[in-house]
Every structure is written in C-alpha cells, then in structure tokens.
Structure 1
Amino acid sequence: MSRAPEQTVDPIRWCAALAFTFWVAVLWNLAIPTAPYFDEVHYLPAARDLLVLGEFSNREHPLFGKEMIALGIEVFGDNPWGWRLMSSLAGALALFAVMRAVWFATLSRYATLTSGVLVATGFHLFVHARIAMLDIFMIAALAVAFWQLAAAMREPETGRRRLIFAGIALGLAMAAKWNALIIAALPGLGFLALRWFAGRRRLLLSRRGMPVPGITLLEAFVWLGLLPLAVYWLTFSPGYFFAVNPIAEGIVAHHRVMLDLQTQVLPPHNYQSTWPEWIANWRALWYLYEPVDGAQRGVMLIGNPLTMLLGLPALLWCAWQGIAARRPAHGALALLYAISLGFWIFAAKPVQFYHHYFLPGTMLLVALALALDDLRSAGWRRTAWIVPAASLVVFVYFYPILAAESLAGPMSFKAWAWLPSWK
C-alpha cells in the first residue's frame, strides 16, 4: 500500500501570535505625540463632526475610515488613545488577514509566516497602524476580502459565506478610500473570466468549474458586485443627517462633489513624490519631526530599505511564474501590484505622496515571500531565512523614527536619512 501524503499543518496559531505581537508593538507609545499630527488634523475634526452630526467636513473622502475613528473616540474618549486605537486594531487585522490569504493561496507555512514578518517589518503597516488616517482601514478591508476569496477557492464547501464576507469587505475598502475602487472590481471580473474561458454553455447558471465550484456566475455577481456597492452606499448614511452641508441632492450628486474636490489643483508640497520614486524607495515622507511631549521626535514614512528593493526582482519572478508556469498566486500578486500602482500613474490627482504606495508595497512584500519560498524549495534555505531576519533587524534600527521615540536632538534624523531625498 502506498503511504498517504503528508498534510501541511495550518499555522493559524502562529499567524495569530504574530499579529498579536505586532499589535503590542504598535500599542507601545501609541499616545505619543499627544497632539494631532500630519493628516490627523483633517480626519479628527471630521470624526468629531460625525459624532455630533454637525457640519459635513472633509467631504472629499468616503466615510467609513472616519466612522471608525469616531467609534474609537466615542468608546475610548477624545484623546490620543481614542484617536488611534481603531487604527492599531485594523493594522493587526490586516496583518492576520494577509497571512491567512497567503496560506489559502499557497498552503505553504513558510510563505505564510514570512509574508507576515515582511509586511510587519516593512514600515508602511506599522506607521499607519499608529496614526488616525484612512489608509489602514482600506488595507485591512482589502486583506480580509482576499483572505475570504482565497479560502473560498481552496474550500468551495464554504464558498457562499466566504464570498458574502468578501463582498462586505470590498464595500468597506471602497468606503475607506477610493484607492480601492479598481482592486475591488477585480474579484468579480476574475470570476467572470474564469467561467467564460471554461466555455460553459450555461454561463450564468452553471455551478461547475473555477474559481468556486457550486457558485453560479449570477450569484457571484450578487456577492461580489451588488453587495459591495450596497455596503459602500450604507456607509454614507450619516451624511444625510448632518446639520450643515448634508447629502441633500442624492448620492450621485455628492460623488460629483467628491470627485471635484479630489481632482482640484493644489499647490506643490515639499514632500510630494511620483510613482517612479515610490518604486525606487527614493522619497521619504516625514509625518512628524519637531520637539513635542518633552523631546525631539519624528515619524518618517519610507519603505524598509532592504525588502522594498529585493521585492522588485521578486515581482518580476512572480510575473514570470504566473505566465510561464501558470502559478496563480504568483501571477495574481504581480497583477495586483501592477493595477494598484497603475491607479496612481493615471489618477487625476496632481499632488501625490509616498503613502499612496501602501497597497502596492504590501503586494510587493508578499511577492517577496513567495519568491523566497521558491528559493527555499530550490535549496537556498539559508538565504530564505536570512532575508526575513535581516528585515527585522532593519526594522529595529529604524524603530525610533517610526514610533515617535525620544531622540537626542534636532540633528538626530541624519542617523536614518541615508539619502538626501530622505531628509
């Protein structure tokens, strides 16, 4: 008798432990600075307006992220903990969801946990989990959506509820920031493409074939098309009840106002940057650098100098594997990176910043994890372990300038501003 193949053990407990450890690291010193900084000066007043339904401010962005910030203020008080605690929870959820998505996509324990280490130490997630901005809620919702989508494909018997959860998460991602709009459309389009190329005679009603057997294309349209739009619209419900500037002429007219505000011509900013600079990790964005709370402190947003550069050849490898070897997880990551970056290449937003690279950068780090997994399988085990360990070392070195720790003096930034463009 032949021996049954070994079944890889799901590392869900390790995923939870890593996400919890990350959350604890985020919580340390979370209330510093005690005053709003960077874009908190826009989103905190908007969250307070939500709580009292006063003036509808910050109308250029959807409401979900500001609703989460308002929830934190309502539960934990109008203080630094209340401002940022929901962001910290979203960051931990995003990390856990990324690892679960990688697990269901690859069934590789190494790729799963390495993706968690790389994303946790990649700087973007950590910095945004410690500030009351909208980006972290978009990333968390998208990560949950792709977790549920990968799980639905891996375990079709759970497909219906997984697709429902994915549809809700996609709606919330769009309702956090518009950056998610194109990415949110991809799951439904992918479902359509796979069924179309399968050549099913009953295209709309067939339950056979990829990506989720047992689910018809018509039903998938409900969960991945109509449900996200319904959830997105529901998040605008408070907008109808503001005392000043409510949504009075309908949701479509309100979106015209949002689009006008998003595309208005703004004056140049010292820290604005372009997508080639994001890819090269060339232009840093300082969220804070001044004496606050009794010490010189700073928060610099830049990608991990090691993994952001190593991730570029990893993306090319994933694209090649997706095309030549037809490895779906590799190809999907390369495609998601290209589309999420392409959004900003063609977006009608004249002033852009490095934090817009948050989503593509996360895709890049996961692609690096998959490429390292392939190296490990090819016998390069030492390299496969050195890279995530080195990423952690680099993160620890940069930690003081990521977490607003007390610095020695005004010129301390030189220890981390390795390039003139990082100053």
Structure 2
Amino acid sequence: MTATLTRPHGDDPEVLRPPSDREAALLGSPMPQDRVRALVVTIVLTLIGGFVRLQNLGVPTDKGSPVFDEKHYVPQAWQVLRNGGFEDNAGYELVVHPPLAKQLIAVGEALFGYGGWGWRIVPAIAGTVLIALTVVIARRLTRSTLLGGIAGVLVICDGVLHVQSRMGMLDIFIAVFALAAFACLLRDRDQVRERLATAVRQGWVHETRFGPKLGFRWWRFAAGLMVGLTFAIKWSGLYYMAAFGVLCVAFDVAARRAAGVERPWVGTLRRDVAPALWAIVAIPVLTYLASYWAWFASETATDRYYTEIKNVDPGLFGFLPAALRSLGEYTANVLHFHATLFTPKDHPHPWESKPWTWPMGLRPMLYSYESGASVSGCGGSECVRATMLIGTPALWWLALPMLGWSLWRTLFRFDWRYAAVTVGYLAGLLPWFINLDRQMYFFYATPMAPFLALGLTLICGQILGAARRGAERRGTGLLAIALYTGLVVANFAWLWPILNADPITTTHWQAEMWLPSWR
C-alpha cells in the first residue's frame, strides 16, 4: 500500500507522519488517483453500452404487440399512464407486483407512445446505468481503473443483461437498484473506516470500550433508499434488504475491530444496529409504501377499497387507516398468488427452469420466434428471427468456479471483497430454493449477472497480479485477462443475432444452439 501522510493530532500541523499500522489497516489500499482517466473510461463504456442496448430497440414484437411477459407489464404501464400512476383493470386481476417498474415503463410510453421503443426505452436506460455502476463498483473493489473497465466490458457483453435491458419487463430494474444499493454500502464502508482512522489518529477511538459514534451515515441512508426502490419493483427486494443488512453489520464489526475497539461486536450492537435497522429496513418499507402514492390517492385502483367492499374484520389492525388495511389485504392476496403459482404437472411451461440451472444458464428462454415466408433478409431460402434470453457462456459457464473461489477466499482468506460480491450474488439465487414447486424462469436470475461480472473481475485482478511482482509476471497476467476479455466479446458477438432478433438462416439458428437444453 502506498503510505498516505497524515498530520499528527496536537503537534505542529505542518509536520507530516506516515499512518500508523492501525490507520493503515482501516484505510486499506488507497483509491487510484487517475480520476480523469476513470471518468473517461466510465463515460466511454457507458456510451458504448447504451448504443448497443438501443440498437433496433423496437424489435421484436408480436405483430405490433408485446412479447412474452411484456404482455403483462406493458399494458399495465399504459394503464398507469392513462390513470396518473396506478393500474385499475380489476377484470384482468393480474396486478401482482408493486407499481414502480410499471410507472417507469409508463414514462417511456409517454415519450414514445405505445410501441416497442415506448415499452423499452426506460429499461434500456436502466441497463445502461448498470454499466456505469459496475465500472465504479469494480474500481472501488479492486482500486484499479483497468479492472473497472474490464468489469464494464463484461456487463456490456452479457446476454442476460443485454436482452433484459431491451424488454418491457421488471427484472432489469431490480438489478440496477440492487447494484446501486451495493455501491452505496461499499462507499459507506470506506467512509466509516475513514472516520475511524481519524478517531485513531486523534486519539479518541478508545473513549469508551464500544468505540466512537460515527455520525449520520448518508451513504447507508442512500443504500436503504435503493433497497426500497428494489422492493418497490418486486418483493424479491426483501431478500436484498436482509442480505445487505447483514453485510452492513459485518462491515461495521470488522471496522471497529480494525480500529482496536475493545468490544467491537457489542459496540456495533450499541452504536450501529439501531441506525442500520432504520436505514436498511424502515427506509425501504417507507419507500415501498410511497411507491403506492397514486394507489392511495385513487378511487378506482385495484382493490383500493377491498376492506370496505368485502367488509373485512380489522381485528388487531383496527387502529390502521382503512387504506393501509386494504393494501395489506391486497398484498396478502398477491402473496397467495405467488405462493401457489405452480406449473401443472401434465402441462408444464416449455421454458420453465429451476434455480440450480441458473448459475450456468442451462435453460435459457425463448421470448419470440418467427420463421417462414414472413421473415426475410438472411440471404437464404428460409430465415429465422428469434430473441432468446441466454447468458454469454464465456461468463456464465464460469459461475460455479467463480462462486467456489469466492467462498474459499471469503472463508479461508477473509477477503471482504469476495465476501461482499458473494452476498450480492447469493441474495439473487438462494431465496428461490425455498419453494421449488413454484413456477420459475431464467429471467429471475437477471440481478445475479452484475455480481457474476464483479466476481470474475476480482479473479482477473488476482491473475493480473500486483505491479510489485515484476513486469514479466504482470505482463503475463495482462495477456491472460486480455485474451479472456476478447473471448467474452467474441462470444457475445456470436450470440448477437439471437439476442436481437436479427434474421438468420435455419443453419445458423441451429449453430447457435450449443446445448440440447437450449432448444
């Protein structure tokens, strides 16, 4: 680590000294000072990714109508636009997710109308923002602008993130808000350590055996807000609330221990847990309720007056306003819908998959398929135009090795970076094992994709090696990760036609199907 000189407390302010061992343990490796270069890399990669996401965004459609699960959310977003923020089609009775994502999609429909661009422009923007977030996060994790740029290339070239950024569906919003919450937690971690390093330097870290109070933590507050936005997209945001809450507490305990606090666990419980519960639990719940602003204000929203119409006995909740009780009943009905969403055993959905297949993308999803006389432009006698949700194999087929290495680094090397990324990855995977009879699809794995890219970037950083290991060692590592990054780009380019519904020959279509489970 490059020593950062600090001013001693109580001495001549012009006399500089190197940081103590305890300060160095708290501060860790400094962020790289190439801020202009980092900004340029982030902007360039974001613009490239945005251009790629926007290519032919209006395709595919089903004779001008949405495809696959767009058929649920796009019309609901149109209702939101028509009604001023809420859905009201009671006969449809499939309003089974919070309103935020549909409100966001409605913004695009307001700008571009009821068509492919209108349905998909805001998801495409969200997928583009995700690229910038990944670059920033990877740079903070690795203290390397080069590795931040590599992470950006990986998420640009992931088929899952690419396709979901081009669909009027919900999951890309979960991915971007969960990743934003993760970014805020990392910034909060560094800020807490900087504050504790100041306490060590100035000699007041041991004023009590529980350690000092750390003041208001705006980055933790921002993390809670982002978790709340995730929760307001889908209820699976609850899992990120739990996972990131545990991660926040673990960061605080580790920071107090590094500062030499006599009782770091008790200190964290006394000083940090209550504010963390407010930031990571209360703020998300309030944000979730705020997403129903139009529902509360309406007269005709789905189940708005459920308790009054059904004459529901309030029981212990009689002290709550009728509107909140109606939302609770509506929520209970939605929970029942999700808990009993089973695939008939005699008529399974052809593209259903279970979570143990997701890490390697063994069962992708076909969103649209056309062939025959209606498709031309492939240069052959028979053409195919298809959109398939498929993870780039050069990324996804390394998921299990990445996860295994990350767990090893977490458990036996106490590497907080791998631990944090693993928590984010598993928060998107493990909860789906709770109810395996439920109907599930590969697009539920979308929020896992950026954490997969971050985990692979950490491994690339180890392969690259530190500069102090010598030019030859670093040069070999640089060659290895350059070849791997090139492989990912080439793999993405190969999949491009079936990610974007470009017309291809039937022979080319068959060549794209690498595994029997892809068919």
Both proteins in one fold, TM over 0.5: yes
Residues 247, 420 of structure 2: 8 Å contact kept? no
What residue is the counterpart of 1:253 in the other structure? 329
Which deviations, in whole Å up to 9, do the C-alpha atoms of 1:241-285 show, x marking residues without a partner? 262533323222121111111122333200111223223332221
Which deviations, in whole Å up to 9, do the C-alpha atoms of 1:162-216 show, x marking residues without a partner? 223222111111111222221222222333345467535554553xxxxxxxxx4
Secondary structure at the residue paired with 1:288? strand
Secondary structure at the residue paired with 1:279? coil
Following superposition of structure 1 onto structure 2, how do residues 59-98 of structure 1 map, counting pairs within 5 Å? 59-98=95-134
Distance in 1, matches of 2:130 and 2:3, equals 39
What residue is the counterpart of 1:212 in the other structure? none
Q: 1:39 aligns with which of 38, 51, 69?
A: 69
Secondary structure at the residue paired with 1:131? coil
Distance in 2, matches of 1:383 and 1:312, equals 20
Deviation at 1:44, TM superposition (A): 1.0
Distance in 2, matches of 1:138 and 1:398, equals 24
What residue is the counterpart of 1:297 in the other structure? 385
Residues 312, 364 of structure 1: 8 Å contact kept? no
Alignment of 1:175 onto 2:239: no
Deviation at 1:294, TM superposition (A): 4.9
Residues 365, 389 of structure 2: 8 Å contact kept? yes
- Which amino acid is the alignment partner of residue 146 of structure 2? Y
Distance in 1, matches of 2:364 and 2:291, equals 33
Relative to 1, partners in 2 of residues 1:117 and 1:349: Cα closer, same or farther, differing over 3 Å?
A: farther
Distance in 1, matches of 2:423 and 2:221, equals 24
Secondary structure at the residue paired with 1:276? helix
Distance in 1, matches of 2:120 and 2:46, equals 17
What residue is the counterpart of 1:322 in the other structure? 410
Secondary structure at the residue paired with 2:367? strand
Following superposition of structure 1 onto structure 2, how do residues 67-146 of structure 1 map, counting pairs within 5 Å? 67-146=103-182
Secondary structure at the residue paired with 2:358? helix
- Which amino acid is the alignment partner of residue 153 of structure 2? V
Following superposition of structure 1 onto structure 2, how do residues 11-410 of structure 1 map, counting pairs within 5 Å? 11-34=38-61, 35=64, 36-53=66-83, 54-55=88-89, 57-156=93-192, 160-195=217-252, 198=256, 199-200=263-264, 203=268, 206=271, 216-240=272-296, 241=298, 243=300, 245-248=302-305, 249=307, 250-264=326-340, 265-267=342-344, 268-291=348-371, 294-295=375-376, 296-347=384-435, 350-377=438-465, 379=473, 380-408=477-505, 410=506
Comparing 264-273 with 119-128, greater Cα deviation is found at 264-273
Distance in 2, matches of 1:39 and 1:276, equals 22
Residues 361, 391 of structure 2: 8 Å contact kept? yes
Comparing 76-85 with 271-280, greater Cα deviation is found at 271-280
Comparing 394-403 with 288-297, greater Cα deviation is found at 288-297
Distance in 2, matches of 1:175 and 1:349, equals 25
Relative to 1, partners in 2 of residues 1:106 and 1:44: Cα closer, same or farther, differing over 3 Å?
A: same
Comparing 79-88 with 354-363, greater Cα deviation is found at 354-363
Deviation at 1:344, TM superposition (A): 1.1
Distance in 2, matches of 1:163 and 1:375, equals 32
Secondary structure at the residue paired with 1:178? coil
TM-score (norm 1): 0.90
Which deviations, in whole Å up to 9, do the C-alpha atoms of 1:134-173 show, x marking residues without a partner? 0011111111111121122223479733223222111111
> Percent identity among equivalent residues?
25
- Which amino acid is the alignment partner of residue 406 of structure 1? P
Relative to 1, partners in 2 of residues 1:66 and 1:325: Cα closer, same or farther, differing over 3 Å?
A: same
Comparing 117-126 with 193-202, greater Cα deviation is found at 193-202
What residue is the counterpart of 1:210 in the other structure? none
What residue is the counterpart of 1:211 in the other structure? none
Deviation at 1:381, TM superposition (A): 2.5
Aligned residue pairs: how many? 412
Relative to 1, partners in 2 of residues 1:21 and 1:178: Cα closer, same or farther, differing over 3 Å?
A: same
Comparing 278-287 with 141-150, greater Cα deviation is found at 278-287
Structure showing greater Rg: 2
- Which amino acid is the alignment partner of residue 372 of structure 1? C
Relative to 1, partners in 2 of residues 1:283 and 1:104: Cα closer, same or farther, differing over 3 Å?
A: same
Comparing 153-162 with 48-57, greater Cα deviation is found at 153-162
Relative to 1, partners in 2 of residues 1:171 and 1:7: Cα closer, same or farther, differing over 3 Å?
A: closer
Relative to 1, partners in 2 of residues 1:266 and 1:236: Cα closer, same or farther, differing over 3 Å?
A: farther
